[in-house]
Amino acid sequence: MANNQFIDTARITVRAGDGGGGAVAFHREKYVAAGGPDGGDGGRGGDIVLRVDPHMSTLMDFRYKRKYAAENGKEGQGKRCSGKDGDDLVIRVPKGTVVRDLETREIICDMSGEEDFVLARGGNGGWGNQHFATPTRQCPRFAKAGLPGQAREVLLELKLLADVGLVGFPNVGKSTLLSVVTRAQPKIANYHFTTLSPNLGVVAVDENTSFVLADIPGIIEGAADGAGLGHDFLRHVDRCRLLIHVVDVSGSEGRDPVADFDAICEELQRWSPELASRRMIVAANKVDIMEDPELLAKLRAHVKAKGCPLFELSAATHQGTKELMFAAAQELSGLPPVIVYEPTYVERPPEVDTSEALDIQRDEDGVWLVDGPWLRQLMANVNFGDYESRNWFERRLRDAGVYQQLEDRGIQDGDVVCLYNLEFEYQR
């Protein structure tokens, strides 16, 4: 894949399937004069499911398709036959994809493991009229529509799962080092920004020890604010347990190694203080063409004062590369595992416009039937098995004036109220 095709962020809209409507039907059989209600329930809407695909390395698939919808549940049928559930829609993502709520930027999930994640749940199917038969209402001629599926907009961010990240200015030799110590084949040339996308390789230190090494696009001053390849660079070192800071000590471009080292550290600090505090090894590269040994001596003293070990090497001639990788493996053995982001997203009650009038009717059996689009949306997000969720739902009904409307129409204590798949006796 060409470097310019690397895509590491994507915005998508997902919608789970709506539940199917319940059926109004009555038992019909020879010699049975008056069969009871036997309308089946509607099928449940399909979920939107995220699944890690080990063969994906970018978010390219989301560049042209940004809307995803699962199948709706089928309608219920007579003879108590339930409608078919809608098929789930499985969306495949690369390992290491972090899913955020588009509006709040809170983390919904981190797709770094092997388990699927349900991003949006399908709506429940509506009840058929078989559920609404009572001793006084033996022929209910109504059923309930299915509830809508969840819909949300999310931001996908690919954050590489690498143990060690190579950081440093452009053209300091990071790609060359990666090609020498792994089987990766990054683009290498003697000009800045040769690397335009992250490259991964596996370093085999010995038969029992290996780790994943990432070559990240070179950073420049202002990267934390998005300058150059800024955010594209910094996003992919978030998970690294160890940083190898590659510094050019040759003096061939007239650069000051100490100033370069401090500039990179400053950008890391501005992006994330936690990232800047990660364990760091300094790789003084291009010692084979070094013009002024004093530059190396100053850098060594500077990084030693900051508690960072320094290794001299020449990636081009393989000098010191094995020693560096061995030291990295030793450091990793005492560090925590690759970071997996914990969810920070809190499910919030939906914003529902309750100003639209509801359809309130009383059937021939004296049951109050309450219907309306916003009521369906509200009920789709209520967990009726949870006490607090039920109380929240009751408050929303009261605040919307539903109970007042029922009282204005003459409802009495003990009358039955039917809200879709929910029936209860009214009490003031």
Separation of alpha carbons 111 and 285, rounded Å: 36
Length of the chain counted residue by residue: 428
373-425: pLDDT as tens digits: 888 888 887 877 788 888 888 888 999 999 999 999 999 998 989 887 788 88
Contact in structure between 46 and 89 (CB atoms under 8 Å): yes
325-352: pLDDT as tens digits: 999 999 999 999 888 889 998 887 777 8
- What are the domain boundaries of the chain? 1-159, 164-333, 352-428
Most confident stretch, 4-13, 68-77, 119-128: 68-77
Cβ contacts of residue 192 below 8 Å, gap of 6+? 170, 171, 218
Separation of alpha carbons 146 and 124, rounded Å: 6
Q: 65-79, 139-153, 317-331, 375-389: which has the minimum mean pLDDT?
A: 375-389
Classify the phi-psi angles of 299: left when phi > 0, otherwise alpha if psi is within -120 to 50, otherwise beta.
alpha
Can you give the pLDDT at residue 223? 40
On the question of a common fold for 1-159 and 352-428, the answer reads: no
Class for the domain spanning 164-333: alpha beta
Q: How confident is the model at residue 317 (pLDDT cuts 50, 70, 90)?
A: very high
User: What is the fold of 352-428?
Assistant: GMP Synthetase; Chain A, domain 3 (3.30.300)
**Average pLDDT of the residues in 250-279:** 88
CB atoms within 10 A of CB 416: 19
Beta strands 117-120 and 48-52: pairing type? Answer: antiparallel
Task: For residue 124, give the nearest of 145, 103, 93 by alpha carbon.
Answer: 145
**Average pLDDT of the residues in 24-30:** 83
Q: Which CATH code for domain 1-159?
A: 2.70.210.12
Most confident stretch, 4-13, 69-78, 337-346, 402-411: 69-78
CA dihedral 60, 64, 66, 70 (to 10 degrees): -90
Cβ contacts of residue 229 below 8 Å, gap of 6+? 193, 196, 217, 218, 219, 220, 223
Helix (H) or strand (E) holding 12: strand 9-15
Q: Which two tokens stand for residue 108?
A: 């919904």
Q: Which two tokens stand for residue 358?
A: 């509801």
Q: How confident is the model at residue 367 (pLDDT cuts 50, 70, 90)?
A: confident
Separation of alpha carbons 188 and 54, rounded Å: 26
Strands of the 97-101 sheet, one edge to the other: 67-69, 9-15, 151-158, 97-101, 107-111
CB atoms within 10 A of CB 5: 11
Separation of alpha carbons 42 and 305, rounded Å: 70
